[in-house]
Structure 1
């Protein structure tokens, strides 16, 4: 390693501060998942409240697409903006901004008011966009902070543990929806419209709680040593910060500071140098994240529709009590997360530093493709004759998504790129992934329709139920996306077992970190 402080981080034994960092950064992902995935159980309740009279209590297709995808649009923008800002201002400073934004917009979403349904839903989408903007910023910052704090031996497991909080966030969102709907929906009487309205508002607002609880601890975290030393070029401060964190004394020679300050600026993001040394890597991280999010988000955000229209859940029109529908939808979402989603994260945590990121990603994409094709080509059989088999295969898809590319695409971009561009490149990769999520959610929703009927500008019109034939065809498209993700995975090198600087060296021998190594070796500082 070029700097003693970085060597100390890479070789540090697993300590309390590692687990503290996992919890602090992971709670951001817990909140992210809660806010993004709490919307499916309540989206049909919005239809029952605001489209009760003229659309059979169903959200029109384009309104449903907006409600589900608005936060994803915000996340895409936030990943690009905050990823770039994290490399300019520092990880810690920007980290607090994203959390404040998430808390404020979660609360504001519950106060979406207006005199008409158009104004209420427009207000909701507005606040959901800015909620997504804050959520998007959490991706590159959490990944970069954890990768720069972790030691080399268990870095993958620590980052996977941070991302695994997404699974807990999904379960938490479902649990809150279950509790709230149970409270308002108990008894034989149907809750009033005011009570129904309170249900979705409380569920959305509760997302501010976990984010607010972690703000203080986020602000106590020191800036990462790699940013302070390699980007801000303040080796003394980096050593002082990490001495406190590691509870050891790290000495810094004055010559190392002078050598560091004398280095010229290296190539930027929009340069031939970057394209030459990191272009294929960025193509690999963006394309694989794009294809996995096409499958993951469409499967997650629209799984209630899938279960409802395959007979695993009652049709929306069959519920006399709209709050009971929220309860059963949330329960189904929680069970799938427990059976398939969470175990996939756990397997990745235990194996990612043993068998490597690339193998896990390839295996995940492969089995996602197999099981999606199996569902698609025998869709009528599963729906009509083997609903238990349908549930089992669908759970396996979620398992291999998370014991696979959904987790590894989060880990790898934070390990490949130089410190001065790490947050930016992770943000770009995540943003392209969110573009895939938007295409997956909106495209799957529309592709599942047997036909399009006329609707007015904001939802007065007819909306057909999804049909098995349409969903079967849509599942084929998700399987094809998984196959393409499998092929694109070969663009990404294995990052296991090497320091962040060594991973960068594999692509370029002219980065700042390599020049640092030569300088420090000359002064016998390593």
Structure 2
């Protein structure tokens, strides 16, 4: 997930640099499209690779996604054209296709990581944190490192060679997927997938939806709200920067971008242990409620925290607000989506649906927040600066309620137990479960003595 996070985050500093190089071309429309086009690709990738992950295999899905990110990250770095607008159009197109690879990693890579945490050789007390480290923690580190790489390249090349800087940012983003692609060639499918996939038999979708629709809907709603809040809240990085330095240089803008993204890291690291201690459900509720408390505090004490241009108190509170978001939904939405909302046989598709609905929330939030803030602007300066925190905090409380009421907690070996319950549920409804699993792992093969780990009779 590090390669996905870097590819996704790198467009932020690139957008800033292109705006300095081509101010007439980088209009508000072009900047918005360049930032948001990846959402369209991500949603397509999440939905399409959910099916590929379940019916073709986790490994092949991961290999295709990594290849897409690698190829289109290089092509984006090499974008060119006779005019700046053509160059920007090339970047937009390549970002879209890279987005498909990024989106496909959710139902392929994340699901495979979740299933691998319940392999027989994994310590049961570490199952949840291992998943968090492999997914959200890597994403958060990647976001911070993408901005830091931009700053380092700016130090190296300077303001007179900004073309080398933005191309270098994108080109470096091709290294992690290349390394990952090589490593994944030697990976095997997770044990859970081998034993419980329906790759060679029909998935009974009606029975699946009847059993899991409430969990799927609950996780999807909370993911929608989380992304609707989280992605647009990046605008407050600019609030902090402008308060400290009214006219920041590019060095200062990139430095603050690195710092703001670093605020996520303590939350995801600490939260990974909390998920093992109290379970993902209650870790998520704890993070949401703490985020809401700090959000309401930021709103209520905003004038005090920012009086006389003093921004340190606001920056610390804002950092804690972001960290608690990672301790809660940032870490645990992926855990709940991969482990709680369905069986191994359809996990990729159900995860992809929930994640895609989340990205729709991000897309809508990115476009609606400016209008919401404009409405607050008309009312008062205070509401202009704090209104979004009131909205975000209220939605965090709403998400906590949905999680508490509708989503089960994840215990040790939860997926193993759920797969067995799903088999029993299918059998009780007249479905032939003997062909569930990969060749050698089906009940029929095991009964015939053809299990690969037990040998043939």
Aligned residue in 2 for 1:344:
267
| Superposition deviation, residue 471 in structure 1 | 4.2
> What displacement does 1:507 show?
7.4
Tell me if 1:422 matches 2:347.
Answer: yes
Query: 1:36 maps to what in 2?
Result: 8
The 3 A distance-change label for structure 1 pair 442 and 381 is farther
Shift of 1:215: 1.0
Quote the residue 1:335 is aligned against: 259
Would you say the 8 A contact 1:40–1:304 is kept in 2? no
Spell out the pairing of 1:325-404 with structure 2 (5 A cutoff).
Answer: 325=250, 327-338=251-262, 340-385=263-308, 386-404=310-328
- Shift, 1:435, TM fit: 1.1
* Alignment partner of 1:162 out of 134, 156, 165: 134
Aligned: 1:115 with 2:29: no
Conservation of the 8 A alpha-carbon contact between 2:196 and 2:419: no
- 1:488–1:299: structure 2 CA closer, same or farther, 3 Å change rule? same
Q: Tell me, yes or no, if structure 1 residue 177 matches structure 2 residue 150.
A: yes
CA contact (8 A) 1:294 1:481 kept: no
Deviations 1:77-131 (A, max 9, x none): 1111111211111000111000010011111112222233332222211111111
2:212 aligned partner = 278
CA distance in 2, matches of 1:480, 1:508: 40
Paired position in structure 1 for 2:172: 206
Q: Answer yes or no: is the 8 Å Cα contact 1:372–1:397 preserved in 2.
A: yes
1:498 aligns with 2:413: yes
The yes-or-no answer on 1:433 pairing with 2:348 is no
TM superposition score normalised by structure 1? 0.74
TM-score by length of 2: 0.85
What is the root-mean-square deviation of aligned Cα atoms in Å? 3.0
Superposition pairs of residues 57-456 of structure 1, within 5 angstroms: 59-151=26-118, 152-163=124-135, 164-185=137-158, 191-192=159-160, 195-231=161-197, 265=202, 267-268=204-205, 271=206, 273-300=207-234, 302-309=235-242, 311-312=243-244, 314-315=245-246, 318=247, 324-325=249-250, 327-338=251-262, 340-385=263-308, 386-416=310-340, 417-449=342-374
Q: Give distance in 2, aligned partners of 1:507 and 1:177.
A: 48
CA contact (8 A) 1:65 1:445 kept: no
Distance in 2 separating the partners of 1:451 and 1:477: 11
CA distance in 2, matches of 1:114, 1:378: 50
Aligned counterparts of 1:298 and 1:78: Cα–Cα separation in 2: 22
Report the alpha carbon displacement of residue 177 of structure 1 after superposing the two structures with TM. Answer: 0.7
Q: Is the 8 A contact 2:343 2:419 kept in 1?
A: yes
3-state DSSP of counterpart to 1:221: coil
Match of 1:480 in 2: 394
Unaligned segments of structure 2, at least 5 residues = 119-123, 437-442
**Is the contact made by 1:80 and 1:428 (CA closer than 8 Å) also made in structure 2?**
yes
| Aligned residues of 1:35 and 1:207 also touching (Cα < 8 A) | yes
Q: Answer whether contact 2:376 2:384 (CA < 8 A) is retained.
A: no
Query: Which residue of the partner structure matches residue 20 of structure 1?
Result: none
> C-alpha separation between the residues in 2 aligned to 1:350 and 1:127?
38
- CA contact 2:203–2:345 (8 Å) conserved in 1: no
In structure 2, relative to structure 1, the CA distance for the partners of 1:361 and 1:75 (3 Å cut) is same
Higher RCO (C-alpha 8 Å, min separation 6) = 1
SS of the residue aligned with 2:413?
A: coil
Q: Would you say how many aligned residue pairs link Structure 1 and Structure 2?
A: 428
2:440 corresponds in structure 1 to: none
| 1:51 corresponding residue in structure 2 | 23
The alpha carbon displacement at 1:508 in A equals: 8.1
Query: How far apart are the structure 1 equivalents of 2:198 and 2:210?
Result: 25
Q: Is the 8 Å Cα contact of residues 376 and 383 (structure 2) preserved in structure 1? A: no
The Cα of 1:303 is off from its aligned counterpart by 4.0
Does the CA-based 8 Å contact 2:241-2:256 persist in structure 1? no
Contact 2:288/2:396, CA 8 A, preserved across alignment = yes
> Does the CA contact (< 8 Å) of 2:51 and 2:348 recur in 1?
yes
1:459-501 deviations in Å (ceiling 9; x for gaps): xxxxxxxx87534323333223322222221211011223313
Alpha carbons 1:365, 1:483 under 8 Å: kept: yes
Classify 1:377/1:69 alpha carbon distance in 2 versus 1 (closer, same or farther; 3 Å).
Answer: farther
CA contact (8 A) 1:43 1:64 kept: yes
Deviation readout 1:217-246 (Å, 9 max, x if unpaired) = 11110122222332257xxxxxxxxxxxxx
* TM superposition shift of 1:514: 11
Summarize deviations over 1:170-228 as a string: whole Å, max 9, x none.
1221221111011122xxxxx34xx2222212112211111111211111101222223
Gaps of 5+ in 1: 1-28, 186-190, 234-260, 453-466
* In 2: Cα distance, 1:371 partner to 1:470 partner: 18
2:425 is aligned to 510
Quickly say closer, same or farther: Cα 1:439–1:412, change in 2 above 3 A: same
Structure 1 residue 414: Cα displacement: 1.3
